[in-house]
Every structure is written in structure tokens, then in C-alpha cells.
Amino acid sequence: MIDSQLGIPQFVAEQLVRMALLEDLGAGDVTTDACVLPEAAGVARAQARTDLVVSGLELAQAAFRLVDPSVQIEVMHQNGERVRAGEDLFVARGRARGLLQAERVALNFLQRACGVATMTRLYVDARAPGSQTRITDTRKTTPGLRAVERAAVRAGGGHNHRNDLSSAVLIKDNHIVAAGGIRPAIERARALAPHTSRIECEVDDLAGLREAIEAGAEIVLLDNMNDETVAEAVFLNQGRVLLEASGGITLERVFALSTLGVYAISVGALTHSVYAADIGLDFDLPASPVDA
Amino acid sequence: MIDSQLGIPQFVAEQLVRMALLEDLGAGDVTTDACVLPEAAGVARAQARTDLVVSGLELAQAAFRLVDPSVQIEVMHQNGERVRAGEDLFVARGRARGLLQAERVALNFLQRACGVATMTRLYVDARAPGSQTRITDTRKTTPGLRAVERAAVRAGGGHNHRNDLSSAVLIKDNHIVAAGGIRPAIERARALAPHTSRIECEVDDLAGLREAIEAGAEIVLLDNMNDETVAEAVFLNQGRVLLEASGGITLERVFALSTLGVYAISVGALTHSVYAADIGLDFDLPASPVDA
Amino acid sequence: MIDSQLGIPQFVAEQLVRMALLEDLGAGDVTTDACVLPEAAGVARAQARTDLVVSGLELAQAAFRLVDPSVQIEVMHQNGERVRAGEDLFVARGRARGLLQAERVALNFLQRACGVATMTRLYVDARAPGSQTRITDTRKTTPGLRAVERAAVRAGGGHNHRNDLSSAVLIKDNHIVAAGGIRPAIERARALAPHTSRIECEVDDLAGLREAIEAGAEIVLLDNMNDETVAEAVFLNQGRVLLEASGGITLERVFALSTLGVYAISVGALTHSVYAADIGLDFDLPASPVDA
Amino acid sequence: MIDSQLGIPQFVAEQLVRMALLEDLGAGDVTTDACVLPEAAGVARAQARTDLVVSGLELAQAAFRLVDPSVQIEVMHQNGERVRAGEDLFVARGRARGLLQAERVALNFLQRACGVATMTRLYVDARAPGSQTRITDTRKTTPGLRAVERAAVRAGGGHNHRNDLSSAVLIKDNHIVAAGGIRPAIERARALAPHTSRIECEVDDLAGLREAIEAGAEIVLLDNMNDETVAEAVFLNQGRVLLEASGGITLERVFALSTLGVYAISVGALTHSVYAADIGLDFDLPASPVDA
Amino acid sequence: MIDSQLGIPQFVAEQLVRMALLEDLGAGDVTTDACVLPEAAGVARAQARTDLVVSGLELAQAAFRLVDPSVQIEVMHQNGERVRAGEDLFVARGRARGLLQAERVALNFLQRACGVATMTRLYVDARAPGSQTRITDTRKTTPGLRAVERAAVRAGGGHNHRNDLSSAVLIKDNHIVAAGGIRPAIERARALAPHTSRIECEVDDLAGLREAIEAGAEIVLLDNMNDETVAEAVFLNQGRVLLEASGGITLERVFALSTLGVYAISVGALTHSVYAADIGLDFDLPASPVDA
Amino acid sequence: MIDSQLGIPQFVAEQLVRMALLEDLGAGDVTTDACVLPEAAGVARAQARTDLVVSGLELAQAAFRLVDPSVQIEVMHQNGERVRAGEDLFVARGRARGLLQAERVALNFLQRACGVATMTRLYVDARAPGSQTRITDTRKTTPGLRAVERAAVRAGGGHNHRNDLSSAVLIKDNHIVAAGGIRPAIERARALAPHTSRIECEVDDLAGLREAIEAGAEIVLLDNMNDETVAEAVFLNQGRVLLEASGGITLERVFALSTLGVYAISVGALTHSVYAADIGLDFDLPASPVDA
């Protein structure tokens, strides 16, 4: 059973995997059907080929199970765990055909999710020791896979930002222009938004920050500011609002930003530019000669 | 109208975009509703912030159109075109709310597709001058977005490999083990597969290549071979089968591999490790003060 | 064009209406096919039969348009407007068959949405004059129609509570028990939840309120308290957190509660026990005798 | 196993519940993840808080099972049974997280279905002793939930009317106008409709009833007639057709109407204005302190 | 606009066609993309190659329109019309690529629907002159295409039987066994079924017919009886119930059965064993040489 | 477990069956509910009533299992086996209601699939003894059921042609016209198509064949040629390309064509004009009298 804090609900995982299986296997697998006897058994071992953080296990498992419900999966490392190159993530045992037919879909999910989690862990670990600054995702996620990638961010030690356009307020530059200024934008948002949502406002400079604080923002997103300006923003803020640094964040800047005391650093690259984790499936298959 | 060779069918694009809009906007956009008057008009300009190759235009357009069918879109650069940083891809004119609400979904598709196309173009352009070697994708695509990413590869000047497990034969190491050798694997595949499919067989070494050629393979995938071994393989092959280099391909190796005369180089990284292209939407919105 | 603040996105409306049309009309309408000639034209007038607040117009329109794209709809009253019994909401003109075939689905959506909006307006208007207390919905919505009903609440002058289990934190009695107390529950939630979400905690008594305030809750839900206790809670709170009254709310209590200064009153009955607004479709159809 | 006469098919229930779970839990449950340890077990007891008739059990069960397939459910009262306030409907045992995450969806279905069943039972029991008059639903059902609500009507002792526009003929006033009269409408319908369908015709007055009987109607819907007119209609009919009273039906009128001998009374309010039955889930959860 | 009596609702047609296009064209059309320039225009002429009855026009049109919304279609013969070999059904004008890409899906629907309609017309025309006996379909339809095939039966001059298991009662041999006899089966069905449904009972012999009539059946299905027994059944019935001949119906028997006075003849072969109508698409395409 | 070479993936089967069950049973089965007690058990025996080749077993099984997961199915003959009239295919044991409710959907899939398999087997067996000529399907499949019908062709001993428009190149007459001739069409296709696809070109006469061979086609489809011309084509070809006979193929011509040495004969009629195999479900049900 997956820890739901580090994964996605099972019925969501199955729906996503079913969609991916249709894409890859919906019309069958002529190679496997030709080369592997129907009842041949096999073992597939998912092995990390680089150091990584695990995420997406529930999707990989669902892939094997939906192709062949009789497959047995033994998990060595759960979502959120750090794994060294060479270690096994899980072992799947069952009919060889099913293992081969589900392989690519299982890996496509797993490698992407582990990629996000591992990248997130890099950013999280780049913070100064003891820092409580959060590393968060953004809405720059892969269409259709937002739940997967948000879970991967959590598995990597990061935090989620708002899930979608309805779940919190984030006033951006265009909203400010349209509303006629920072204050009217924040006031209108406060008047309309669910009381369960904090009001976040994006600003470009310290004047904006000052205005946003005075207008009642609870979070201010410091957009594309360099470290010096962020430092000034923290000083100016005096702890009144939560500060979120965003835009132009690189791994190199995380240490400095985390020492400055921003509450959160949001990083689009965690999900929009994912490097797939290197994971291999090693098979142990019996030969099934024609005469067998 | 999108050139279908460089894009995906419109009914597919709309289905994908509808799914993504549900994910992001299905429950509404409280910020935009609060800050922007319903009838305010606006203009959104999609601008390349780095040099890139265009792909996914049909998806970005569908995002704006599905949120507000009255939006007008003027396209400056079509799928497949190279665009310089600073150039506009398209301009969308319509109600400001719709433009803001569709923005993220439009960009999430567009940046990913342009990212794939631009990366593909890098590999394509890395070939030796005059080389006919193909750069191809693999099945290591984002679950649910295979059609999008294959179109992006074509837009970047690359070629597609087989679409799914049913559309061609690719005999891998595990199939060979299961079938009891290269020859029985190829023969079984030939006997079962549609006659419209060529038979491709993956080999690890020159002995495997020799065996595959003799057994009647039409394409041989040279898996994880270094340039020297690939050169030997080309020499050994004497033009009898198509050779595809795969595994461990980096941009740096493309020049050498293309001079060696392999027919195709397949690169999983084109789609499994995509760097989103940097594209911004610049808005021109009227202020809509409370008293308006 | 629907004001998105008072309605649901068009692509969502169309998806819901398509589902409802399949349910009612998917296998055809034998009565209308028998009695009405294919090309006969007609006019359908949607009339309020009681005073009501409009909501769900976009769904009614989508029903007619999806059955026959050539229908023309003239809207007299927009979502959010109060309409007197006898007034027309809209007039649809087109082929008589399409009007008759879409009628029930259009009304099933419209009457329910107007019912929610009208009930919400009753609660909103029951507040003391000048009160800023919000009337909000809950997650006790009709399965599949949450977006519709939340929009209806807004059209009725109410506010939305959190959209789903992911979009904000609401710690209930069982969470408190599981976490080992109010303080650990709030602290764990604060540590995990997106920083864009406020932390709301449900309490049964004033001791709980005190504890929740001290533990850092930003909103406290006063569960099933009578007016006296709510008054004490307001006094005890001294404006430190937002107070939300919930449980056992009746229309009669709204005046008193709103004078006490609670920030919000959440009312499950707005959506779980909806009285459909009485709306009729009056047709003006030509006779189409057999010999015509 | 649900009695299919008093419930909906399991594959339909699962599809509806999956849709509702996506709406509420698709993006996760941050509160429960924060407060409840992944492996903590719990017990949830569904208790009637008012007298009610059970319906929708299969949906509540599917909600728990789809969130966590390992949950065990013990059912005390089946669909169709009358339950007293304070009695338990079922007990679910399993992981505490799953129980809490499925709670709202389970209750949203269950309370609505029980509400419809209980209201139906009120109408059924309001008939004169020994009366065979049927209480039936209409097509005024919640979009997407028609199957659920029709099953609830059966669970409450009522009968279903036609399922959709294809499954039987019901000639309404507009059809009569369009067809040029009652006789041509009935004759055209008889000529076109499946022979398995009876022909029902709606009339406003006794002249209409006479005309409908003579034209061969098998059922006549007496629309919006008072008790006196219904009595005259029964007398006039002499048992030749089935009479259905509809429009303006209140609980108070059911006794009188049932004594008059109409065959059926159809009541839109059974489904269009549902009062959710009051059902609570009482949890028995272990504390899971941070140090555990 | 399609006559809804002879076709299926447009939103249903579009959903079916979208599904079929995904199956055939979802991943693109490499041949057409290679051979036809994107902006080349063309004309496609759908021509009957044998005599046939038209059905499925709305599906063929939807196929072209969903692939390219700018296509123009001119219809020469509507659903339900008889067309001679060599006549055109419709002409589609638009981009050549779209015409070629939609061709197969359009024809797969059209040929099947015309096949059903044409076969139905054969049975309808095989009746004795002046006979009112209905030719009806059964539930032996192609999974997923029931609405299409039922519309085709109507287009061919036939009638529909019940649409699904909910829309009418048909008591078969196994129901009779389970219920303990014809009478209890009919009585139970009458007690449960919607009053809008007639009660049909299947019988094997004249004793069964007699019993069914006496028990109150309104329709009796004479299962697998030869013409002589059917004649006896008609005589025995004396017009009390509707008789439906079914099972072992061949085209040759229709004349005799229709003279015997059965009300309906139901023929599974109309839909379970369809011979696709021969329809060709003749293209008029401009050459688009490489140098163009 | 189904041999995936002779069937379709289980997750695909379940999706198709779910769709078909919704169509037939989604709104319930009033007859069975009335006549059969909920807990009555039964046995259903699927028996071949003519000689046939089995296909679609996984779909029939899924139908019973989705209606009632507790049903037990014992399979006597697997997909691909030849069965004599009178032999049983499988026996299903479980609740009588579920067996009766799933019956029609199970048979609609099974009879169609067996029909395709049996017809294919006829064509396969009509080849000259020892002939290696393939009998293949086409894209003239039932919309939505392509995977089912292609599996049935394989179960009947046939081979599949390309799956969809993306999975291989087939240049038809219109492509040739558009491209400006056979050579440019083939060259363009070769330049664009995946290297895993062979290039097939359709020709009308021997001049076309010669041109196609010279232009590099790997397969040539001989369209609508009589046996004499096919013989000349084989002679002219000298084994250089694979020859496929298509168009106007009848069972009678298969022997001759197979002796001529064409590589494949493609037959649209295998799937576009299917004669449903005659299969009956014989039930053994207990009586369930009212008093039980």
C-alpha cells in the first residue's frame, strides 16, 4: 500500500496507467507474442542505475497488474526513499509476456516520477543546513500528469504550491494591470476567494512588495529578483508576510536564498524540464524454444 | 490549418487540451474572476525567449479556443519553423479572462513540444554535412502525450520510430533469450508479424549482428556500442541491413556516428528528458478599475 | 458569454451536458420523431414560475446547442440576477424537434442551479443589514455537479468553501484524534500543506477554540454550537482567527449569527437538499399535420 | 451482493463513484495525509440519524473499496429496508486514511439515495390502505444520476416511469399541437414506436381524455387536475385505459388520489427536490502521535 | 440536418466518430502526409456501387468534419432513400489530406449502416402487398453501435424492438423456469415493470401461447415455430395479443408469415450478420508534384 | 489466461465490455429482476451450434465477470481452436441474475469474433495444400472493434495487415495522383515514413507494378486483377517484391491465387461482412417460486 502523502490515489493511478497502456499496447505486442510462449514465467528486477529518489511506484505496479493481474510484486524501496545506483527498487514475478508488455509504460511513469523526485531532492538538499525554506513546484506540469508530478515533488522532500486555478489566489502582473493596481487586485481577490485560501501577490520590485504588504497580501511572490533584492525584501518585510522567491531560480542560488529567510522557493524546472531517472528492468526469462 | 505532417490531428489536440484544461481550470479561476472584468478585451503575444523550433501550435490554439471560442489567433510562425529569441509565435486577441485562463495550459503544451522539437533539431544539425542519417525518437515518451512528442520530433527535422508495440517488430535481448536465440526470434517474428512491418533486431556485439543479418533481419539495432564498434559493424554489414545506433547516444557522438553511415540514430532523451522551451505570453490588457 | 465568476467554464458545461443528453436522448426520442415534422420550427420560452435567482444558463444553452447547433438563444436575465415569477429567462428559437428533445436536460440543470442560487440568496439576505458574514457552501454537493453547484452558490451571493480535499486544510474531529490532539494536528498540517492554504480546525467547544488559536489555526470552525456559545467564542477569539459557524445552521439562525461577527457560516443544505426552482418552457409550435 | 432490483449494476456504481472520487480526492487529501499515519487502522460506522429507507449501499461500498481495496464492510441493513434513527447501516474496517478520504463521497451518494427512497416511501405509505396505485418517478432526475435515483425510488416502494426518451411514448401538449391534435399524435406514435411500448398521452381536461381513449391511448396522463376532475376522469374512463395523475401532486393529495383509483401518480419532487437523509459516519480511530 | 427519426443525435454521432478516428488516425497518416501537399484541395464523391438504402449519412459527414471542419458536404440522397448503383450519395469538398484521412472511417460507418438498412428493406419488401406486419430488430447488435444499427433499421423501413434490458419486458424461457411458470413470470413482471412497458412473453408452443394470453401477456413471441404452427397460433389468439414471430426467420418465410397476420417479425440477422453495402469514394485530386 | 497472440489485452477487453454493458444493462434489467430471485444460482453453458473457430473468449468472460465478479468460468476450448457443432465452449456458474443479464453482451462479442475467426479459417483452408500465402485483414473493420476483429483473424489462422494509418505506408491510387506518379509517391513515403515500415504501393496493372518495383516498393498490392494478370505479375516480379492480391477476392479464387505464389491475399469481407457464429447459452436454473 502506497503512503498517500507520497503518492497518488490508486484509482487515479489506474486511470492514468490504463490510458498509457492503451497508447502503447492497445493493439497488441507482436514481438513478444512471437518470441515468448504464453505460459512462460519470468522475473523482472527494477534497478536504479544512478542514485535517485523513488516516486511513482504505484504507477509502475499498476502497469504490471493491469496487464496481468496475477503478477506478484515485491517492493524493496518505497516512494520517498533514496536509493543508490545498483540497488533494486522492486521485483515483479509473473508471466514473461505480461512483464515485457508492461515494461515500457511502467518505466515511462517511474523514470519521470523518480526524475522529478530526484531533482526536487537536489534543490531541497541545496538549502543551507537547518533551513526551513520550502522548495515548491508550480503549475508548469506535464498536461495530464499534474497529480503524479506533485506527488513526486513531495517524495523528493519538496512542497506543493496551489494545485490549480481554483484552489488558491495568485495575483500576477496581468491581474494587477487589469485590476488597476496591487491594492484593488488584492482587495477584490480577498472579497471573492474562499476564506480558506491565502492571498498571494506577485511583485517585481520593492515598491510592489511594500504596496502588497500594506494591501493585505499574505504571501508575496518576488518575481525574478536577484539575491541582493531578495535580501532587501526580507529586511523590508520584517516577517509580516510569507515571501516566495520565483523566476530565474537555479540550483546554485538555493543556498543563498535559503539563508536569506524566504519562506518558499518555487521552481518550475522541477516539473517542466525533467531529466528521466535511469532505471533498468533486468529480466530473468527462461528460454522457450519452438519445440517446447 | 496545421500541416498534419508536423502536428497532430485536430480532434486529438482538442481531446488532450480538454483534459489539461479540466486539470487546471475545471473548478474555475478565482484570481482572474476577481481582478478582470468579464467583458474586458486583451491581447496575448507568445514570444520566444530563446531560439527554438516551433511545435505544438495546434495545442496552444485549441487551449485558447476551448476556453473562449470567440478568440482570434494570428500565427506568425508555423510548426517546424526556426524562430529567434524575441520573435513572436502568435498573437491571440479576445476576452482578457479567457486569455489568462488558458495561458498556462497553452504554454505547458507549447513549451514542451517546442522543447522536443528544438532538442531534435540540435541532434539533426549535429550530423555531418550532407549526412542522411536519421535522428529518431523511441517509445520513451510522456504517458498520454506520445502523439504530441512524435509530431514535435518531426517538426524538429527528426523521424519517428515505431509508434507502439503493434506497429512494428523490435526484438530485444529478452525476446532473444525467450525465443532461444536470434535466429528463432527473427523467424518467429517474421512468421507472425504483418508483412508491412520490417523486422528489427537488437544486438550487443558483432557476433550478434552477423547472426541477425544471416537470420534475415532487415534492421539491426546496435545497442550501446562505442564508435569503433559501430564502425566495425558498418563494415561488416556491407549495406545488407539498415543499422540503427541506440543507447548511450549523446549530442557529441552524433557527428561521428553520422559519418559512419548508420541509417538511424535513436535517442530516448529527445522525449524522456525534455527541457521546456522558454516562451512567454506578454499581455496587453486594459485596466478595469472597480468603478468602470 | 457567461461571466465566469457566476458560471462554469464552457468546456466543462459541454461535457456535463453531453453526459446528461446521452442519459436521456442517447437512444433517440420516439415521441417527438413521431409527432413533429423534421423541419418544423418553434420557439421555446423559459419562464420563471416563482421568484428566483438565475444560475446554470450556460448549461441550458449548451443543451439546446448540442442537440441542434443552429438554435438561436436570446437571454433576458444573466446568472446572478433576481427574476420575478412570470418573467422570461431566455427564448430559444430553432427546429421544434431539437427544442423538445433538449427540454428536459436543459431544465434539469437549470432548475437545480437556480434552486441552489435561490436558496443561497435566502441565506445571504437573512443576514443582518450591513453584515459582511459570508454564507458558504460545503463539500456536500451532488456527485459530478460540484462545479455547477459552487457556481450557483456564487450566483446567489454566497461564497465558496474549499473545492476539494486537496485545495485547503480542514482538520476535523477524527483528524484531531488520529493526530493526538489539536496542536499536533495543526502543526503537522502546517508542515505539509501548501503555503497558499490557510489552516482551518474544527472544534466542539471553547476549550478547543482556545487550543486551536494557540496552536496557530487561521480559521476555526465552530461545530454545532448554539448562538450563545458562538457569542462566547467570538469574545474569546478577539479577532485573532476567522470563525466559521457550521452544523445545525437554519435560516432562522442566520440573522443572529451574522450579528455576532462570525466570518462565515457554512451551510450543507445549500447543496445537499436542493429544492428545484420552478421554471417552465412554453412552446410556440406550428401544427404539422400528416398531409403537410 | 446488492439485489439488482433495488440497486444499480456494480459496473455502473463503480463508474459513478470513480467520477465522484476524482472530483473530491483526485488531487489528494492534505489534511488526512498530515494527521493520520499511513498504516493506522480504523472503523467507520454509518449511522442513521433520522428514520430512513436505505438506498445507495452499493455506491457507499464502492467509494470505500475504490480508495482502498482492502477495506472490509459489514452491512446491517440492505437497500429497501426501513431503519430507525440510531441504527447502523454498515461498518467499514480498514486503514484510517482510506476511510476518511472516502467518507464524503460515500455519504454524498448514500444520503441522496436514502433521501429519495425515504421520500418515496412517504408517498407510498400515504396511499389509502390496500391501494394498488403506483407512486412513480419522472425524468426530472439529477443529471448523471438517473440510474441511482430510479433505484432509490424502487427501494422506497415506488415504481419507475419510462427511463428515457427512447424507452416509451409520452405525448405531451406540445406534441399534440405539433401533430395537429390528439388523434394524429397517437396514431403517428403508434405507427412509429416499438410495439413493446405502450402509448401514453397527456391531457388537460376531460374532453382530452375522451379523445385520447377513443384514439387508442393505453395510458392517459391527467395533467394538473384537481381531485374532483380526476374523479370525473376515472368515472368517464370506465377502466378502459390506465390513468396517471401528475402535476401539482403533494403528499396531502396522495390519499385521495389513491382512493379514486388512478393507476399511477407520478411525482417529480421525488427526485428533483431531494432532502438528503441524515447519516453520520462515526469513526473509531487510534491516536497516531508523531513519535509513534 | 438529419431527420432524427432516420438517424442518430448529432452529439452521439460525433462521439462515435471521434472514437473511430482515434482508432484509425489518432497517430497520424504517414502515407497521406508524404504524398499530398497540405493545402491541396480535392473532391470526394461517395457513389453507390450496388442498389442500396441510405443510412449513416450523419456519421460519414461527422468523420469528414471532425478531421477538417472546413470541409463542405453536399448531400444528394438522405437517410432512408433508395439509391441505384451508380448514383452519388454525397460530395465532399475540402483539403485533400482531410478527405483521404477521413475516408476509411466514413466508409466503415456508412457501409455498415447502409448494409443494415438495405437488408431491412429486403425483409420489409418481402412482405405480402399491403401487409402491416412489422419487421423489427433485436438486441443482437454490434457492441457500441446499437443506436446506429437501430436507426439503420428504421431507415430501411423496419421498426425497432426494445432498446435495452430496461426499456421493456421480454420474458424468455429461462425467466419462465426461474419464476416457476408463465403465469408467475408475467405477474411478477407486471407488478415490477414501468406501466409504460407492455409485457412480452416468449413461448415455444401453443400451450404456452394459451397460458401467456390467459396470464395477461400483451405480446407473445412465437419462438422458432414453423409457418403451420404460427398459423395455428394466430387462429388460437383471436386478436387478443400481439404476436411476434422470431427465431429461424429467413427472407423466404417473410411473405408467408406476413400473410398470416403476425404483428411483428423480429430478425436478429438484420444486425448480427451485416453485409457491408458497396460504396466507393471517388476522388478528384490535383497532382502536387515535389517542385510545386 | 488468454494467449495474447490470439486475443486482446485484458484491460482493453474490459473497457469494451464495460461500454457494451452500459449500452444494454446500464439502466437495469426489469425482466430478470422480476422473475429471478437475487440469490438463485445457475449454470450457463455456451454451446456451438455450428462448426466454428473460437475467438473472443476474453470478452465473453469479461462480460460475466463485470456483471458479477463472483461468477466462475470453466473454459473447454481456447481462442483459435476448431469446435464442432454441439460442443461446449465454456460453462459459467454463478448467480442466475448475473448470468442472464450478461448473456446478450457476452454473445454479441463472442458470436461476432467467432464469425470472423471462422470465416478467416475458411479462406486460410481454401489455399492450396502447403501454400504459405497469407490471408490478411484490412482496415475495413467495425468502428471501435478493430482490436477484437484483428485478434479474430489471427485466431482463424490469418495474418494482420497494418493496424492503422500510422503504422505502415500503403500508397493508393489517390496518393499516386496527388504525388504526381508512382515514383515520387514511393520516394516521398520512403523519406518520411519510419524506417521500421515497409513501403507498399497499390497498382492497377503490370505497368504500375514495374514502375513500383523500380521505384523501390517493398510490397505491391495488385488491385482488382484477375488470376491471369496476377500470374503475369508474379512472373514479372521475379521475387523482387512481396505481392499482395486484393479487391474482388472471393473464397473461390483463393486456391488459384495461393498457387500463383502471391505473398498475401487481403480480404475486406473477413471483417466488413461478418456472419455471426451460431452460439447458444443453455441455462440450468432452479425455479424460484414466489413463496420461496
What value does the mean pLDDT take over residues C29-34? 97
Q: What is the pLDDT of residue B289?
A: 54
Q: Residue D153 pLDDT > 90, yes or no?
A: yes
CA distances to A221, B90, C134, C138, C266 from C246, in Å = 33, 50, 12, 10, 5
> B159 in the Ramachandran plot: left (φ > 0), alpha (ψ -120 to 50) or beta?
beta
ipTM: 0.96
Please tell me what DSSP assigns to residue F88.
E
Let me know: does E267 contact E157? Beta carbons within 8 Å.
Answer: no
How would residue C292 be classed by pLDDT, with cut points 50, 70 and 90? very low
- C-beta atoms of C177 and D283 within 8 A: yes
Percent of chain D with pLDDT over 70: 98
- C-beta atoms of E108 and F33 within 8 A: no
What value does the mean pLDDT take over residues A242-262? 96
Which residue is catalytic, options D82, D93, D162, D172? D172
- C-beta atoms of A4 and D97 within 8 A: yes
Q: Residue F286 pLDDT > 60, yes or no?
A: yes
- C-beta atoms of D273 and C100 within 8 A: no
Residue of A nearest to F12 (CA): A26
The 3-state DSSP class for residue D154 equals helix
- C-beta atoms of E167 and D170 within 8 A: no
Q: Residue F73 pLDDT > 90, yes or no?
A: yes
Return the closest-CA partner of residue E98 out of E283, E280, E278.
Answer: E283
Let me know: does F19 contact F61? Beta carbons within 8 Å.
Answer: no
Let me know: does F241 contact F212? Beta carbons within 8 Å.
Answer: yes
Question: Which residue's entry shows cell 504517414?
Answer: E30
- C-beta atoms of D4 and F69 within 8 A: no
Per-residue pLDDT reduced to its tens digit, F221-274: 999 999 999 999 999 999 999 999 999 999 999 999 999 999 999 999 999 988
DSSP class per residue in F273-288:
S-----EEEEEE----
What is the b/e burial string over F227-255, where b = at least 16 CB atoms within 10 angstroms of the residue's CB?
eebbbbbbeebeeebbbbbbeebeeebbe
Per-residue pLDDT reduced to its tens digit, D61-70: 999 999 999 9
Q: How far is E41 from chain D (nearest CA, A)?
A: 41
The grid coordinates listed for F87 are 460442443
Residue partners of C258: CB distance under 8 A and separation at least 6:
C126, C127, C128, C131, C133, C265
For chain B, residues with pLDDT lower than 70 are 287-292
Q: A170 contacts in C (CB within 8 Å)? A: 196
Q: List the chains bordering chain D where 3 or more Cβ pairs fall under 8 Å.
A: A, C, E, F
Q: What is the pLDDT of residue E291?
A: 45
Q: How far is B108 from chain E (nearest CA, A)?
A: 21
Q: How far is C38 from chain E (nearest CA, A)?
A: 6
Residue of F nearest to D164 (CA): F27
Q: Which of F23, F24, F25, F39 to mutate to test the interface with D (most CBs of D within 10 A)?
A: F25
How far apart are alpha carbons D105 and F253 in whole angstroms? 62
- Number of Cβ pairs closer than 8 Å across A and B? 252
Residue of F nearest to E199 (CA): F31
Length reported for chain F? 292
The 3-state DSSP class for residue F44 equals strand
Q: Is D140 a catalytic residue?
A: yes
The grid coordinates listed for F108 are 454479441
What value does the mean pLDDT take over residues C280-287? 86
Q: What is the pLDDT of residue F105?
A: 98
Q: What is the pLDDT of residue E1?
A: 72
Give, rounded to a whole angstrom, the gap between the first and last alpha carbons of chain D. Answer: 38
Nearest to D166 among C29, C107, C189 (CB): C29
Nearest to B196 among F192, F195, F197 (CB): F197
How would residue D198 be classed by pLDDT, with cut points 50, 70 and 90? very high
Q: How far is B159 from chain F (nearest CA, A)?
A: 6
Per-residue pLDDT reduced to its tens digit, A141-181: 999 999 999 999 999 999 999 999 999 999 999 999 999 99
Per-residue pLDDT reduced to its tens digit, D266-290: 999 999 988 999 999 999 887 655 4
- C-beta atoms of F165 and E24 within 8 A: yes
- C-beta atoms of E27 and B164 within 8 A: yes
Q: How many CA atoms lie within 13 A of A177 on its CB side?
A: 16
Residue partners of F130: CB distance under 8 A and separation at least 6:
none
- C-beta atoms of A263 and C195 within 8 A: yes
Q: What is the pLDDT of residue F274?
A: 86
Return the closest-CA partner of residue A235 out of A251, A217, A255, A213.
Answer: A213
Q: How far is F234 from chain E (nearest CA, A)?
A: 25
Chain F residues within 8 Å of chain D (Cβ atoms): 18, 21-22, 25-29, 32-34, 38-39, 66-70, 95, 97, 101
What value does the mean pLDDT take over residues C12-19? 98
Q: D194 contacts in E (CB within 8 Å)? A: 136, 159-163, 168
- C-beta atoms of D195 and E170 within 8 A: no
What value does the mean pLDDT take over residues E183-188? 97
Length reported for chain E? 292
Nearest to A66 among F11, F150, F163 (CB): F11
CA distances to E97, F173, F211, F227 from F208, in Å = 23, 10, 5, 17
Per-residue pLDDT reduced to its tens digit, A1-29: 789 999 999 999 999 999 999 999 999 99
Per-residue pLDDT reduced to its tens digit, E222-233: 999 999 999 999
Which residue is catalytic, options A58, A137, A200, A202? A202
Residue of B nearest to F195 (CA): B161
Please tell me what DSSP assigns to residue E127.
S
Which residue is catalytic, options D18, D82, D93, D104? D104
Percent of chain D with pLDDT over 90: 95
What value does the mean pLDDT take over residues E190-216? 98
Q: Residue A292 pLDDT > 80, yes or no?
A: no
Per-residue pLDDT reduced to its tens digit, A40-60: 999 999 999 999 999 999 999
Let me know: does A178 contact B54? Beta carbons within 8 Å.
Answer: no
Let me know: does F267 contact F133? Beta carbons within 8 Å.
Answer: no
Nearest to B9 among E34, E39, E67 (CB): E67
Q: List the chains bordering chain C where 3 or more Cβ pairs fall under 8 Å.
A: A, B, D, E
Q: B67 contacts in C (CB within 8 Å)? A: 9-11
How far apart are alpha carbons E175 and E165 in whole angstroms? 13
- Domains in chain B: ranges and CATH: 4-124+275-284 (3.90.1170.20), 128-272 (3.20.20.70)
Q: Residue D257 pLDDT > 70, yes or no?
A: yes
Please list the active-site residues of E: 104, 140, 172, 202, 223
- C-beta atoms of E163 and D168 within 8 A: no
- C-beta atoms of B4 and E70 within 8 A: no
Q: How far is E287 from chain C (nearest CA, A)?
A: 36
Q: What is the pLDDT of residue D40?
A: 94
How far apart are alpha carbons D197 and D162 in whole angstroms? 10
Q: How far is F286 from chain B (nearest CA, A)?
A: 46
Give, rounded to a whole angstrom, the gap between the first and last alpha carbons of chain C. Answer: 39
Return the closest-CA partner of residue E189 out of E212, E209, E161.
Answer: E212
Residue of B nearest to A177 (CA): B287
Per-residue pLDDT reduced to its tens digit, C68-112: 999 999 999 999 999 999 999 999 999 999 999 999 999 999 999
Q: Which of C68, C71, C100 to mutate to test the interface with E (most CBs of E within 10 A)?
A: C68
Beta strands in C31-149, from DSSP E residues, in sequence order: 41-48, 52-53, 72-75, 82-83, 88-95, 134-136
Let me know: does E71 contact E94? Beta carbons within 8 Å.
Answer: yes
Which residue is catalytic, options B104, B139, B188, B198? B104
Q: What is the pLDDT of residue D66?
A: 97
Residue partners of F55: CB distance under 8 A and separation at least 6:
F6, F7, F79, F80, F110, F113, F114, F116, F117, F151, F152, F155, F156
Let me know: does F189 contact F93? Beta carbons within 8 Å.
Answer: no
Which residue type occupies E270?
L
Nearest to E9 among C25, C34, C39 (CB): C25
How far apart are alpha carbons A68 and F32 in whole angstroms? 33
Let me know: does A237 contact A207? Beta carbons within 8 Å.
Answer: no
Rounded to the nearest integer, the mean pLDDT of chain D is 96
Nearest to C12 among B26, B33, B70 (CB): B26
Q: How far is E222 from chain D (nearest CA, A)?
A: 15
Nearest to E3 among C26, C38, C101 (CB): C38
Let me know: does D287 contact C183? Beta carbons within 8 Å.
Answer: no
- C-beta atoms of E69 and B5 within 8 A: no
Q: What is the pLDDT of residue B271?
A: 96
Give me the residues paired with residue A265 across strands.
Answer: A135, A245
Gyration radius (Cα) of chain C, Å? 23
How far apart are alpha carbons E159 and E137 in whole angstroms? 7
How far apart are alpha carbons B12 and D222 in whole angstroms? 50
- C-beta atoms of B27 and A165 within 8 A: yes
Let me know: does D213 contact E190? Beta carbons within 8 Å.
Answer: no
Residue of D nearest to C30 (CA): D166
- Number of Cβ pairs closer than 8 Å across A and C? 82
Q: How many CA atoms lie within 13 A of B21 on its CB side?
A: 31
Q: How far is A147 from chain C (nearest CA, A)?
A: 11
How would residue F5 be classed by pLDDT, with cut points 50, 70 and 90? very high
Which residue type occupies A216?
G
Q: What is the pLDDT of residue C2?
A: 85
Let me know: does A159 contact A132? Beta carbons within 8 Å.
Answer: no
Question: Which residue's entry shows cell 454524498?
Answer: D108
Per-residue pLDDT reduced to its tens digit, F153-164: 999 999 999 999
